[in-house]
Structure 1
Amino acid sequence: MGCMRATNDKPAAGSYIWNSIGGMLNALQSVVVLMVITRTCGLADAGIYSIAFATGNLFMYLGNYGVRNYQVSDLRQQYAFQDYLWHRCVTILLMLAASAFYCTVNFASGSYSPEKTAIVLAMCVLKTEDCIEEVFEGRLHQNGRLDLAGKMMTVRILVSIGGMMAALVLTKSLLLSTLAAIVLAFGSFIFMAIRYRREIAWSRGPFLWAKTAGILAACFPVCAANFLSFYLINAPKYAIDAAMSEEVQAEYNFIAMPVFVIQLLTMFIYQPVMVRMTTSYRHKERMSFLREFMSVVRWLLVLSATVLFGAYLLGIPVLSALYATDLTALKGDLMLILLGSVFLAMNGFYSAVLTLMRMQNRIPVYYLIGAILSLILTPHMVATGGITGAVTAFTWIMALVCALLTMQFIAGVRHIGKELL
């Protein structure tokens, strides 16, 4: 297998800056699009977009298959880039099949109108571009060029989301605007992949089922954990979708938007240190590993405290102005769901760290426990408490999963300590 290109001489600052820009845009894209939809198409379409975006992201986790951290930490290149690429083609086909089945069932049952079905399916297709792009970003990240991965993400988001918003203003059609975003997203990705082809260092290779099956087996636990985790995030939305109106769905999503901001901002805090943490772990450098871990935790807490303080002072006025909707009655719900988002962000970091420790097989068990509790509690709490019930169930379950992952991490670190003695 070929060696990775020695491109690690780029300053770390560039990786942080571009990864931060890309992560910020990724975190804010749904916020901005939802603002435009509310003003151009109305509150009901905002609710449809919210459930379509949630569903697209849910199936995107099947397409991504939890491979990014595994790929980046594959420093010995057990699998070549073409193996990861072929694997991604397989998982995208699975993603599209699952998306089509989901939309067909909801349409046949009468839960979705023809237009809503088409919008949800189009959003799932849009998310396939995220999946194919991510494996290229993972390659750049693996080769020490996280800055270029951030640039690739930044260009794609600016082009596709900018085009989608322009189409919304011109056509006032959510479906046509989503279709426009699909074309622009794939076009910008192809352009950037060609531009960075040398840094990607892509050599063509045949499809080897043994390699694809190996990645499928190795990353299935992380895929299952990510899928279940995102289901837990969106369980309140699906409960609201089943029992309440599109307008209530929109209001819930307005106060839930900062949750995804914290989650995604946390991702670009820890992604730049994943390779260093992997190296420390492989070399049994326990203290170096823990220093990197605690550094991320400190930044996560600072970020969370800043967001919570800002939300307490300005959250409701700002969200009400952004979405042209009076959300005054939901201030308590906003603060509670943001507390839940802190646990959510920590859960994502734990999943990444446990993956590089090659303890990913344990992760899905904890998320499965949370998913089972959510299936039992969330519909009941939404039926009895509405939005307040939804955010309460979300926060309780995220705190439980965080506690379980913390215990698993501590056990793993103690294991390193024993090896060092």
Structure 2
Amino acid sequence: MISKDKVSVKSSKLKKINISNQDSLNVSTKQNYVWNLFGTASSSLISVILLLFASRLLDSHNSDIFSIAYALGQQFFVLGYFQIRNMQSTDIQEKYSFRSYHNTRIVTIIMMIIASVGYVFIQGYDFYKSAIILLLVLYRAIDAYSDVFQGYFQQKNRSDLAGKVQFYRSWICIIVFGFSLLLTKSLMISSIVICLINLLLTVILDYRISIRNFNTSFSPSLVKDLSSIFSILREAFPLFLNGFLITYVYNEAKIDIDLLLTQGHFSNGIQRDFNVLFMPVFVLSLLFFILRPLTTQLSIYWYEQKYELFFKQIRLLFVVMTALGVIIIGLGYLIGTEILGLVYGTSLVEYKVPFAILLAGGILNVLALVIDIVMTIFRKQAYLVIAYIATFIVAKFITIPFVKGEGILGASLSFFISMIIFFSTSIIIYIWVNNNDKRKRS
């Protein structure tokens, strides 16, 4: 049994948290969900629309380069992001200051840039392809920096502010990139422009909102904050490793297609076509973060020991996600490839089955992400490393032979099998951890 003293201390802390957040809860509960919906949807759509512009306005060679460059930008973004947002947004007791989270993000972004330069050098890409990749990595690095402010807004129960930043940033970048590509027909120039605009938006949006709403003051001095930086990196590492491995699983087929395309196994356009088919799957995983405000509420339920409400909410999430998944797969098979082909200007009708397989894998991934959030609230996320490593190993072994033998169908099958491994191992770990915790709680 839990002692009364411990419960009293915990309740006292929670009262302070609830009182400090009461004004923001009263003022912006609805706005939190509405703006978070707009912001997350816009952030999810940006990759869809940028690929649309590249597909429509560039030749197949350049659209292939953009496709792999954006995929690699997302891969290295995980290093810059380092999954610190999950820790930061659920740190309702403010174990670490915003300054420490901010300084840690600076360190991870430096690591991101260095790693991307090393990757391009090792791959031996030509100057043009290398420059495009590094520019899109820089663009995503700026996104990663912006995210630490958005995490701070969410931590203060102001997900509406984070949503506004995402919404305005996404649509301004979309419009600027589209007009630049339309006017110049140059992927290089447009990539430079979108980086500069994104940097400017960080100053206009993130800095201004944080100072105006929270009087944020912090020191960017890394040396003075080394202890907290190392502590945050250590705590976040399991989450980062998980995120990096699963993103690599998403990108494994794209990387293998790029390799085989370079070796002459495929003709130009296959990278673009697979990225178009995979885009709804990627958006599915991003749209899950519409539920970000709910993670803070779930954390409060957990720390207030309202276990019945907590697990009821989790069950509801699984039911809703599963029902939506069945509908999405059905519609995707019936009309998905026709709509995507019409929008992106390329014939995809022959890929009906691969597309449905990709969507099924995407739904399994979203269900596994629900487990990820719950395990983070439990502070038992380290256990999920097993699931991520198992998925990574399976994907690494099966993807290139599947892609080489069956092309896009093989890429779809390898992703689906990987997601089966991911979901099944995650659910087994969750059940085991939850059963152990139940015994302790009783």
Bigger mean CA deviation after superposition, 15-24 or 228-237: 15-24
Counterpart Cα distance in 2 of 1:193 and 1:293: 32
Structure 1 position 129, deviation (Å): 1.1
Counterpart Cα distance in 1 of 2:51 and 2:407: 21
Does 2:21 correspond to 1:8? no
Instruction: Find 1:52's aligned residue among 43, 64, 69.
Output: 69
Counterpart Cα distance in 2 of 1:174 and 1:297: 41
Bigger mean CA deviation after superposition, 334-343 or 237-246: 237-246
- Provide Cα deviations, 1:369-421, integer angstroms capped at 9, x if missing partner: 11111111111111111111111010011111111111111123223322332
1:335 maps to 356
The AA in structure 1 aligned to 2:376 is: T
CA contact (8 A) 1:333 1:391 kept: yes
The AA in structure 1 aligned to 2:276 is: F
Does 2:110 correspond to 1:97? no
Instruction: Find 1:198's aligned residue among 195, 204, 212.
Output: 212
2:3 maps to none
Q: Aligned residues: percent identity?
A: 26
Does 2:156 correspond to 1:143? yes
Structure 1 position 12, deviation (Å): 2.3
Instruction: Find 1:115's aligned residue among 113, 116, 128.
Output: 128
1:128 maps to 141
CA contact (8 A) 1:44 1:250 kept: no
Counterpart Cα distance in 2 of 1:192 and 1:298: 37
**How much is the aligned-residue C-alpha RMSD, in angstroms?**
1.6
Counterpart Cα distance in 2 of 1:25 and 1:348: 20
2:321 maps to 300
Structure 1 position 68, deviation (Å): 0.8
TM-score, scaled to structure 1 = 0.95
Structure 1 position 274, deviation (Å): 0.6
1:162 maps to 175
2:82 maps to 65
1:189 maps to 202
CA contact (8 A) 2:98 2:218 kept: no
CA contact (8 A) 2:85 2:147 kept: yes
The AA in structure 1 aligned to 2:69 is: A
Counterpart Cα distance in 1 of 2:271 and 2:383: 34
Structure 1 position 44, deviation (Å): 2.0
CA contact (8 A) 1:8 1:143 kept: no
CA contact (8 A) 2:28 2:160 kept: no
Instruction: Find 1:391's aligned residue among 408, 412, 423.
Output: 412
CA contact (8 A) 1:20 1:150 kept: yes
The AA in structure 2 aligned to 1:51 is: I
The AA in structure 2 aligned to 1:160 is: C
The AA in structure 2 aligned to 1:397 is: S
CA contact (8 A) 2:354 2:412 kept: yes
CA contact (8 A) 1:286 1:417 kept: no
1:256 maps to 278
Larger Rg: 2
CA contact (8 A) 2:65 2:129 kept: yes
Q: Secondary structure of 2:414's partner?
A: helix
TM-score, scaled to structure 2 = 0.90
Instruction: Find 1:31's aligned residue among 48, 57, 61.
Output: 48
Q: Secondary structure of 2:24's partner?
A: coil
Counterpart Cα distance in 2 of 1:363 and 1:95: 23
Instruction: Find 1:242's aligned residue among 259, 277, 280.
Output: 259
Structure 2 runs not aligned, ≥5 long:
1-15
Does 2:241 correspond to 1:217? no
Q: Secondary structure of 1:9's partner?
A: helix
The AA in structure 2 aligned to 1:411 is: W
Structure 1 position 9, deviation (Å): 2.2
1:418 maps to 439
CA contact (8 A) 1:157 1:185 kept: no
Structure 1 position 8, deviation (Å): 2.4
Q: Secondary structure of 1:8's partner?
A: helix
Instruction: Find 2:105's aligned residue among 65, 88, 109.
Output: 88
Structure 1 position 358, deviation (Å): 0.6
Question: Size of the alignment, in residue pairs?
Answer: 415
Counterpart Cα distance in 1 of 2:239 and 2:149: 19
Bigger mean CA deviation after superposition, 388-397 or 22-31: 22-31
Counterpart Cα distance in 2 of 1:11 and 1:18: 10
Structure 1 position 24, deviation (Å): 1.1
The AA in structure 2 aligned to 1:403 is: S
1:289 maps to 310
1:266 maps to 288
Q: Secondary structure of 2:123's partner?
A: helix
1:310-389 superposed matches below 5 A: 310-389=331-410
Counterpart Cα distance in 2 of 1:302 and 1:373: 28
Structure 1 runs not aligned, ≥5 long:
none
CA contact (8 A) 2:333 2:353 kept: no
In structure 2, the CA distance between the partners of 1:11 and 1:152, relative to structure 1 (3 Å rule), is same
Does 2:226 correspond to 1:226? no
- Provide Cα deviations, 1:254-312, integer angstroms capped at 9, x if missing partner: 111110121111121x2111111112222332211111212222332233233223212
Counterpart Cα distance in 2 of 1:304 and 1:95: 33
Counterpart Cα distance in 2 of 1:44 and 1:303: 36
Bigger mean CA deviation after superposition, 184-193 or 7-16: 7-16
Counterpart Cα distance in 2 of 1:163 and 1:296: 37
CA contact (8 A) 2:55 2:63 kept: yes
